[in-house]
């Protein structure tokens, strides 16, 4: 089985989000970049298929050379090969087109991409790859078993889950639940050393145009002070929620 995991290079979850250039650009100053958590859950599941079922696992990213540290980390976790499509990613559709083009050419059985990146939260790349390549698609995937071409998976729905049968070629939108947080792997020294020798192929982008452009960013308005209520006066809390906030 040939697996490819799409890796997005995103600010660490603890990052403070700021903007520069008149609020038109994300401020990378002092920000640590990591593998997008939803992609990392997917990569970890892919490693299971590699170890138990002999799958090959490639990782791919659309980005400039600064994203290579994140691809190297994926190699250190255990991926076989990394591919970087050399383009400054500007919208989800063009990223999906770049990925879909490569994936189609290389005939992957399973494509794993996080259900959304934690920076732009577009939630479009996995579904668009499936749509462009006419592959089966399971979003919000929280379990995945593959036997030959047969797939059994589950999807988180609002208030529960769905068990789904499908087949390869398949694209999944990965998220937490696919593996547990405790299954995530921290690269060890041997993995890091081996990752240096693994192939990181840089390929040119195909011609795509953006369908959307980011114009400007805004930060949420600062919040007013909290109104404290004594634990001996909870009637006051109920009064505030009912008469002031009007939420009960």
Q: At its nearest, how many Å lie between other proteins and the CB of residue 10?
A: 9
Q: At its nearest, how many Å lie between other proteins and the CB of residue 232?
A: 9
DSSP 115: S
DSSP 224: P
Q: Is 142 in the site for other proteins (CB under 8 A)?
A: yes
Q: Is 120 in the site for other proteins (CB under 8 A)?
A: yes
Q: At its nearest, how many Å lie between other proteins and the CB of residue 156?
A: 6
Report the residue from 92, 99, 103, 108 that binds other proteins according to the rule CB under 8 A: 92
Q: At its nearest, how many Å lie between other proteins and the CB of residue 139?
A: 4
Report the residue from 204, 207, 243, 248 that binds other proteins according to the rule CB under 8 A: 248
Q: Is 121 in the site for other proteins (CB under 8 A)?
A: yes
Report the residue from 65, 88, 107, 231 that binds other proteins according to the rule CB under 8 A: 231
β pairing state of 19-20 and 160-167 = unpaired
**Helix orientation angle between 37-53 and 68-77, rounded to the nearest 10 degrees:** 30
Binders of other proteins among residues 49 to 88 (CB under 8 A) are none
Q: How many CB atoms lie within 10 A of CB 143?
A: 16
C-beta closer to other proteins: residue 189 or 245: 245
The structure tokens listed for 101 are 């083009």
Q: How far apart are CA 19 and CA 28, in angstroms?
A: 8
Phi and psi of 229, rounded to 5°?
-125, 135
Q: Is 243 in the site for other proteins (CB under 8 A)?
A: no
The interface region with other proteins, picked from 59-67, 68-76, 131-139, 191-199 by CB under 8 A, is 131-139
Q: Is 235 in the site for other proteins (CB under 8 A)?
A: yes
Q: How far apart are CA 173 and CA 112, in angstroms?
A: 6
Q: Which of 15, 18, 214 is nearest to 120 (CA)?
A: 214
Tokens 């789904």 found at? 164
C-beta closer to other proteins: residue 82 or 92: 92
C-beta closer to other proteins: residue 65 or 213: 213
Q: Is 5 in the site for other proteins (CB under 8 A)?
A: no
Binders of other proteins among residues 16 to 55 (CB under 8 A) are 16-17, 19, 37-38
Binders of other proteins among residues 166 to 205 (CB under 8 A) are 166-167, 173, 175-177, 180-182
Which residue stretches of 54-208 are H helix?
A: 68-77, 92-106, 125-133, 189-197
Q: Find out whether 45 and 38 touch, Cβ atoms under 8 Å.
A: no
Q: How many CB atoms lie within 10 A of CB 83?
A: 20
């Amino acid at each position: 089985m040939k697996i490819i995991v799409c890796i997005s290079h995103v600010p660490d979850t603890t990052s403070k989000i700021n903007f520069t250039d008149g609020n038109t650009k994300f401020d990378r100053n002092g920000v640590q970049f990591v593998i997008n958590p939803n992609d990392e859950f997917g990569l970890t599941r892919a490693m299971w298929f590699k170890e138990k079922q002999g799958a090959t696992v490639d990782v791919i990213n659309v980005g400039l050379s600064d994203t290579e540290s994140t691809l190297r980390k994926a190699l250190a976790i255990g991926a076989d090969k990394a591919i970087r499509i050399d383009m400054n990613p500007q919208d989800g559709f063009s990223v999906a087109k770049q990925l879909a083009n490569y994936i189609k050419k290389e005939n992957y059985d399973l494509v794993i991409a996080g259900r959304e990146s934690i920076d732009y939260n577009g939630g479009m790349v996995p579904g668009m790859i499936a749509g462009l390549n006419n592959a089966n698609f399971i979003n919000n995937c929280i379990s995945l078993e593959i036997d030959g071409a047969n797939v059994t998976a589950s999807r988180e729905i609002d208030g529960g889950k769905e068990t789904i049968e499908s087949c390869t070629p398949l694209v999944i939108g990965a998220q937490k639940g696919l593996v547990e947080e405790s299954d995530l792997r921290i690269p060890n020294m041997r993995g890091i050393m081996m990752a240096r020798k693994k192939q990181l192929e840089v390929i040119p982008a195909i011609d795509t145009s953006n369908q959307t452009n980011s114009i400007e960013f805004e930060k949420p308005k600062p919040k007013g002070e909290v109104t404290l209520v004594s634990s001996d006066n909870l009637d006051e809390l109920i009064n505030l929620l009912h008469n002031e906030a009007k939420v009960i």
